[in-house]
Structure 1
Amino acid sequence: MASIAGCTGSFGGGKSNDGGAGGSDGSGKVKFWSSTNKQELTFHQNAAKAFRESNSTGLKIRPVPEGESSEQVVLSALSSGTAPGVFANVFPGFAAKLEKNGAVANLYELDGAKKFMKERSGQKILSRYESPDNGGMYQAPWKANPVLFQYNDTVFEESGYEADDYPQTLSGLIEAGKKITNQKSVEYLWDRAPKPTWYERWFDFLPLYLSATKGGDMIEATSDGKLKPAFNNDAAAKVLSFFQDLYDNDLAPSQSTKKQLFAKDKAAINTGGPWVIPFFKETNENISMSHRKPPVPDGMSLNGHTYADPKNTSIFKSANNKQGAWKFVSFEQQKKWDTKFLERSLQLPLRKDLVDVASGFFEKNPGVEKYAKVLETSHPPAYTPNYTKYMNTFSEQAFVPVCRGNKQPKKALNDAEQALKGVLN
């Protein structure tokens, strides 16, 4: 993944980019870009085939072209007038940048869109993806891979733990790690090095911070509409202290090992979304793992708040058939397609009551159901166009120095807060 922080400029009001005539009445061809994931692309193509049976709107489905990053490709296409009408792989930080540049449509202004999204996703989920600036919606909630902790059952059982005794607190994990790594066969509690790249925080600091704060923000708006850091608190200090202990006690590597230690029963815990299930089974078909809510500081109970790892669907202002584009987007986000998407991609549609809607799928895939059960307590990244720079600065000023033993948690948070005051607006 590459940073989009350096891309600026306005793309609003550019020439039509869908090809053909038509517009507000839902006529005209719609060019739709998906991610490069083959399973997702096939899903979109199958949905388009069914859509054409009862709709005259023309559709062209293809994956986003290859490039340095999908975000860079989209920004370049917007500049040159060759962008699609729809892009179905937008993370919220990119949606904020597109909104700021005037490139994307407010979906709430399209006929029936707000009602449909509220019925399908529910207000709790929907409100997390709205623009804090104006309450508009520039990204239709599409899919998520909520981050849970995977516990290697073999490692824990060989260390004398029963499933009911697995550690649920940060201090409990450290104590378990000391015990587990006394086994000669186990190298680390957590095979995770303190990498500085912004998106790495999605899989270490952020799930634990969200759990410790029960979904607290890392950025908040001031009374004058400006954004300011909101992470300099006791919960963040406790989470950073956990990582300080983790590396001080050599319970995690200082450099990435790239050895698949968790899958080989040589590390006890891991983090990731439901995609970890087939990923680790490719390395070890006999792996046994439990999927658990992020641990919490002492004195708290598990609550299921975690990072959502979402990607959403945006419609560009330059699309010549925005209503037709929405017609297809809402078509493939109907309830009847939820199970098909799960079966095809093993990713979760961002929908309320998904466990009930796709109950047949989850009966056959109980491991994936664990992720679906935290979908409504999973949170997107902060909605700011400077998100990548923001998280890189937090990593450089706070997370990595604490893990390396170069700063104490409180000083690290103070330094990061000061460094970020000029970044967010």
Structure 2
Amino acid sequence: MKPIKSRRTFLKGAGAATVAGLAGCSSQGGNSGGGETTESGGSGGDDSTGTTVGSSGDQSVTIQFWHAMGGDLAQRIDDITNSFEEQSDGITVETTSRNSYRDNLNATTSAVSSGNPPALSQIFEIGTQLAIDSQAFVPVEDIIPSDRINFDNFLDPVLDFYRVDGKLNSMPFNSSNAIMMYNRDAFEEAGLDPDDPPQTYQGITEASNTLTSEGVVDQGMTFPNHSWFVEGWMAQQNTTLVNNENGRAGRATESNLDTDAAQNIFEWWTDLYEQDQYLNPGIEAWGEAQQAFLTQKTGMIIYSTSSIAPMQQGASDNGFELDTAYLPAPNGERTGLPIGGASLWVPRGLSDAQQQAAAELLLFMTQPEQQARWHRGTGYFPVRKEAITQLEDDGFYEENPAFRTAIDQLNETESTPATSGALMGPFPEVRTIIEEGYVSMIQGNTNVSDGLSQMKSDVDETLQSYNDRVA
């Protein structure tokens, strides 16, 4: 499958946590993650682990790594850390899997406040502003020697999100974006061209009606009711989710949910539901959406690139071939997408040996070899250009074209405030407002225009309340 290219190509280019609950961490002091630009890296730079700086003489050091992965993903993290231990000099890594990204962020900031933090913590992308505001973390640029890493070799769309005020606060690790997956067999049976999947909202609607009218599936499309997709669709139209350049030129104070871009998204989404072509699995119901697609109740699903590998296996187990396509856009033209996933943060309060050991583990986990290994087993795209080159040289993408779609979609993303992703403290709460707003629309409680107006009002009030607390 060869997705239609956009007109630009750029390789270079619910319980929400609140700062009130993190206030105890500010006593640790130090830089909150902003400030003047002090970019590390440059050309060259050896980011192999080399001689461990985390041990001293006969002394070894043990560090804690808290993450939010479960199941096979948790095992893959354990495999990486075990490999690190085998080649390191005296560093032991103890991993702990938390229930969710939100739980892990709250547990980490509480541990910093109590003086017993982990050395590394995996925090989801929407927790970035919360983490900075907590003052519970040390920017990774401050602890990794500039001659040990080359940030020029990292993918720009990934660094664009995590670099705030010129400072890289956390180390990108598991990054993803939204993608469409579809059932090639269902397309063929319905008379649709599986090598030419729909690229637009209208195309999705038409393909859905063809799939159902031919009796191939019950409904055309499914995906979780998740604000992450709305954020991607806003970026595709080069419209920021919030003001002040998506919260990057100053704190976000109001949303852009009253724009034509938002209207385009929700008019299509509600219309697809009203035509009985959208199988609504529920708010953030990833597992339910996956099940509906893999049992062939729908012919298409919008999901995360992080799950390409297990989704391919699930499709094969259910007797059909899965393929991937770009996230559909209103008119087929797309500026690009913000990333999702998570990054690795270093808490304050560590000993020098623990902090240096954490730096060594960060260097190891982002080596091209480790990133390629992670990508092959999951679908999270490598954060390093060099890893992609290795995979290309190995013929991985020729044998696995479904994975290539995610890389192409990423590389064709233009660097703008919209595609860099939004920064705001109450992001988890904002997502809930947007998701519940959609439910209100399809239940007939409000029309799209009035629903978006209410969403904007609720989000703006939430932003103001958060900003007042941290002021």
TM-score > 0.5, shorter chain as reference = yes
Q: Within 5 Å, give how 1:413-424 maps onto structure 2.
A: 413-424=452-463
| CA deviation vs aligned residue, 1:73-131 (integer Å, no higher than 9, x gap) | 323322332221111x2112223212111100022323535983522314443122122
SS of residue matched to 2:21: coil
Aligned equivalents of 1:114, 1:107: Cα separation in 2:
14
For residue 81 of structure 2, what is the amino acid of its counterpart?
H
Choose which of 81, 100, 106 in structure 2 pairs with 1:44.
81
Aligned length: 398
Counterpart for residue 222 of structure 2: 191
Q: Distance in 2 between matches of 1:413 and 1:183?
A: 35
| Identical pairs, percent | 17
- Provide the residue aligned with 2:431 in structure 1: 391
- Deviation track 1:126-171 (CA, whole Å, cap 9, x = no partner) reads 122122xx43222111121322101211222222111344322101
What residue in structure 1 maps to residue 340 of structure 2? Answer: 309
Match of 1:400 in 2: 439
Which among 209, 231, 234 is matched to residue 206 of structure 1? 231
Q: Which residue matches 2:267? A: 241
Does 2:39 correspond to 1:7? no
Q: Name the residue aligned to 1:281.
A: 313
> How far apart in 2 are the matches of 1:296 and 1:403?
21
| 1:14-413 correspondence runs (5 A) | 14=28, 29=61, 31-35=63-67, 36=69, 37-50=74-87, 52=88, 55=89, 58-64=91-97, 69-87=103-121, 89-113=122-146, 116=149, 118-131=151-164, 134-192=165-223, 195=225, 200-202=226-228, 204-213=229-238, 216-221=239-244, 225-227=250-252, 228-254=254-280, 256=282, 258=288, 260-272=291-303, 273-279=305-311, 281-282=313-314, 284-285=316-317, 286-298=319-331, 300-301=332-333, 305-321=336-352, 322-352=355-385, 354-359=387-392, 360=394, 361-376=396-411, 377=413, 382-397=422-437, 399-413=438-452
**Residues 345, 254 of structure 1: CA spacing in aligned structure 2 closer, same or farther, 3 A cutoff?**
closer
1:120/1:30 Cα in 2 relative to 1: closer, same or farther (>3 Å)?
farther
Structure 1 residues 192, 370: CA separation in 2 closer, same or farther (over 3 Å shift)? Answer: closer
Q: Please tell me whether the aligned partners of residues 181 and 188 of structure 1 are also in contact (alpha carbons under 8 angstroms).
A: yes
Structure 2 gaps of 5+ residues are 1-13, 30-52
Distance in 1 of aligned mates of 2:232 and 2:323 = 17
| Code of the aligned partner of 1:219 | V
Secondary structure, in 3 states, of the residue corresponding to 1:415?
helix
Q: Is the 8 A contact 1:177 1:189 kept in 2?
A: yes
Give, as a single letter, the amino acid of the residue that structure 2 aligns with 1:391: R
Question: RMSD of the TM alignment (CA)?
Answer: 3.1
**1:229 Cα offset (Å):** 1.4
Superposition TM-score, scaled by structure 2 size: 0.75
Q: Which region of structure 1 is more displaced relative to structure 2, 168-177 or 407-416?
A: 407-416
Deviations 1:271-319 (A, max 9, x none): 2224244235336423212200011223x4356x235322101111212
Change (3 A) 1:324 1:262: closer
Which runs of no fewer than 5 residues in structure 1 stay unpaired?
16-24
CA 1:352–1:128: 2 relative to 1, 3 Å: farther
- Kindly indicate whether the alpha-carbon contact (under 8 Å) linking 1:181 and 1:187 is maintained by their aligned counterparts in 2: yes
CA contact (8 A) 1:34 1:41 kept: no
The separation in 1 between residues aligned to 2:347 and 2:441, in whole angstroms, is 41
Q: Quick check: which one's helix share is greater?
A: 2
